[in-house]
Amino acid sequence: VLLCILATFAVVTLAWYIRDSLKVDSITEKFVLVTGCDSGFGNLLAHQLDQKGFHVIATCLTEKGCMDLKAETSWRLKAVLLNVTDSSSIDSTVIPVSNTLSHAGLWGLVNNAGRSIPVGPSEWMQMEDFRNILNVNLFGLIELTLKLLPLLKKARGRVVNVSSVMGRLVLTGGGYCVSKWAVESFSDSLRRDMRHFGVKVSIIEPGFFKTAVTNVNLIDADLRRLWDQLHIDVKETYGEKYLQNCESFCCQINSTRDDISKVTHCMEHALTARHPRSRYTAGWDARLIWLPISYLPSFMADFIVYNSSIPKIAMISWRDL
């Protein structure tokens, strides 16, 4: 019986591996639009897809980001300015893309653009602090996706939305986790809606990696801004010790891993695999610590996150498994 179980497990594992390894054809004829390519995941993915032979439409928030990408990549990559919080900016990107790809359609959309600050206790926030994050991480993502869906349906293409492990387990207050949980929900509903049209939707859930989003100096400075604008009565209820603990969490983020290719390889697989996965978890900390904790009863997860040294251990820059 044990041998039969082991043999069955081996056959299933081999079949899954073979299925997971199958790739799509005609990559050099496919167009992919990637947002947030100034730096980090988006920048590296744009380089990877360009080297693979894709026609890449890389959107950046700054002129410098566009110029740097153009200088470092082939003629197949087109860098354009895009502010996902501005509907007119989205239209100025979508309309030319629609005119160019009206017959072939768009193979891939990678919604990577995002921001993290302000991060901190929710009571320290103003409504504008929540809106600033949600406008980028959620509403901009939804608007761009909806406007490109006709092209994606025509190509029976892919939507790849970058969420976070904090879209499964809340580790801090503010709008970041709120936005990522919403991205998870939107992506799940879109995946089921688009199944009828052959469009596949994947979610990327990275652990902690060193990018502009996890820039400890920016996070710490913004945390101080939130603290300084609090009413004196509210400050007294928290105390300086609470602020120091928040700043300590920011310092731990600074110990995150530099090898962001673990994330971009997941994105690339979602675009090139014949059978992309619904979810990709990048980083050993996400796979072995954060996601398992998220499945625990709430009181156990709260105790571990609040009292345990596991969050600190998880952010040490060990080699990924």
Q: What is the pLDDT of residues 40-99, one digit of tens each?
A: 899 999 999 999 999 999 999 999 999 999 999 999 999 999 999 999 999 999 999 999
Average pLDDT over residues 254-274: 85
Is 91 a member of any domain? yes
- pLDDT score, position 61: 94
Residue 115, pLDDT > 60, answer yes
The confidence score (pLDDT) of residue 16 equals: 86
Average pLDDT over residues 108-126: 90
**240 located within any domain:** no
Is pLDDT larger for residue 124 or for residue 312?
Answer: 124
pLDDT value, residue 110: 98
> Is residue 207 one of the residues assigned to a domain?
yes
Segment 143-148 shows an average pLDDT of: 97
Question: What pLDDT, on the 0 to 100 scale, is given for residue 208?
Answer: 83
**Average pLDDT of the residues in 132-155:** 96
Q: Is 59 within a domain?
A: yes
Q: H/E/C letters for each residue in the chain?
A: CHHHHHHHHHHHHHHHHHHHHCECCCHHHCEEEECCCCCHHHHHHHHHHHHHCCEEEEEECCHHHHHHHHHHCCCCCEEEECCCCCHHHHHHHHHHHHHHCCCCCCCEEEECCCCCCCECCHHHCCHHHHHHHHHHHHHHHHHHHHHHHHHHHHHCCEEEEECCHHHCCCCCCEHHHHHHHHHHHHHHHHHHHHHHHCCEEEEEEECCECCHHHCHHHHHHHHHHHHHCCCHHHHHHHCHHHHHHHHHHHHHHCCCECCCHHHHHHHHHHHHECCCCCEEEECHHHHHHHHHHHCCCHHHHHHHHHHCCHHHHHCCCCCCC
Does residue 95 lie within any of the structural domains?
yes
Mean local confidence (pLDDT), 135-160 = 97
pLDDT above 70 as % of the chain: 90
The stretch 301-306 carries a mean pLDDT of 84
Percent of residues, the chain, with pLDDT higher than 90? 60
Q: pLDDT confidence of 1, banded at 50, 70, 90? A: confident
**Domain annotation covers residue 13:** no
Q: What is the mean pLDDT of the chain?
A: 88
At 84, which CATH number? 3.40.50.720
pLDDT interval class at 35 (50, 70, 90): very high
Does 171 have pLDDT greater than 70? yes
Position 214 confidence tier, pLDDT thresholds 50, 70, 90: low
Q: Binning pLDDT at 50, 70 and 90, where does residue 102 land? A: confident
In a domain, 249, yes or no: no
Q: List the catalytic residues.
A: 176
Model confidence band, residue 156 (pLDDT cutoffs 50, 70, 90): very high
What is the residue range of 165's domain? 24-211+257-308
**Does residue 317 form part of some domain?**
no
| Mean pLDDT for the stretch of residues 170-179 | 89
What's the mean pLDDT in 109-126?
90
- pTM of this prediction? 0.87
**Stretch 4-22: mean pLDDT:** 90
CB atoms within 10 A of CB 244: 9
Q: Which residue has the higher pLDDT, 256 or 101?
A: 101
Total domains in the fold of the chain: 1
Average pLDDT over residues 257-272: 90
Residue 311 has pLDDT above 70, yes or no: no
At residue 249, the pLDDT reads 65
